[in-house]
Amino acid sequence: MSHGFSLVELVIVVALLLLATSIGMPVAHRVRDTAAVHGAMSGLLALVAEARVLAVAKGGAEVHLRDSPPSATIRVGGTELRTTHFEPEDRLVLRLPRGRSEWTLRYDALGIGRITSSTLTVQAGEATGRLVVSSYGRLRRP
């Protein structure tokens, strides 16, 4: 009576594990990329909402966006209050309107922005998300 596994049985189990891993890895990458895009979009929405509240409270505010590395900064009266760096920087791409590398949303004391309608695109791998900035500075998902 044998109390172990034969070499053939071990090779079959390892081959099945490798097959399952090779099938599951692309799905895991897509899930990771989608989560990165949704996280960055949620961060942008929260940052703009905070800037609009600060604009009303302090008489104006700005959200300064940069595409490389992807980041956003809230400024009030020329002072930087908070900067958010979007992760993972090596995979996440932030595309600003009209191909710019930096872009600023300015809000007045009523929390209203005066800009042309634009679209921000966040991409990680094959996952893509878009945020539309209205002419009054509000962000929404299309």
The 10s digit of each residue's pLDDT in 100-140 is: 999 999 999 998 988 878 999 999 988 999 999 998 888 88
Q: Residues 72-80: what's their mean pLDDT? A: 93
In whole angstroms, what is the distance from residue 70 CA to residue 63 CA? 13
Question: 142 falls in which pLDDT band (50, 70, 90)?
Answer: confident
Maximum mean pLDDT: which of 15-29, 44-58, 79-93: 44-58
pLDDT band at 91 (very low <50, low <70, confident <90, very high): confident
pLDDT > 70: what percent of the chain?
96
| Domains in the chain: boundaries | 7-140
pLDDT at 80: 93
What CATH class has 7-140? alpha beta
Euclidean distance between CA atoms 137 and 142, whole angstroms: 15
Q: What is the 3-state secondary structure (H, E, C) of 74-127?
A: EEECCEEEEEEECCCCCCEEEECHHHCCEEEEEECCCCCECCCCEEEEEEECCE
Q: Is the pTM of this model over 0.85?
A: no
Read off the pLDDT band of 1 (50, 70, 90).
low
Return the higher-pLDDT residue of 83 and 26: 83
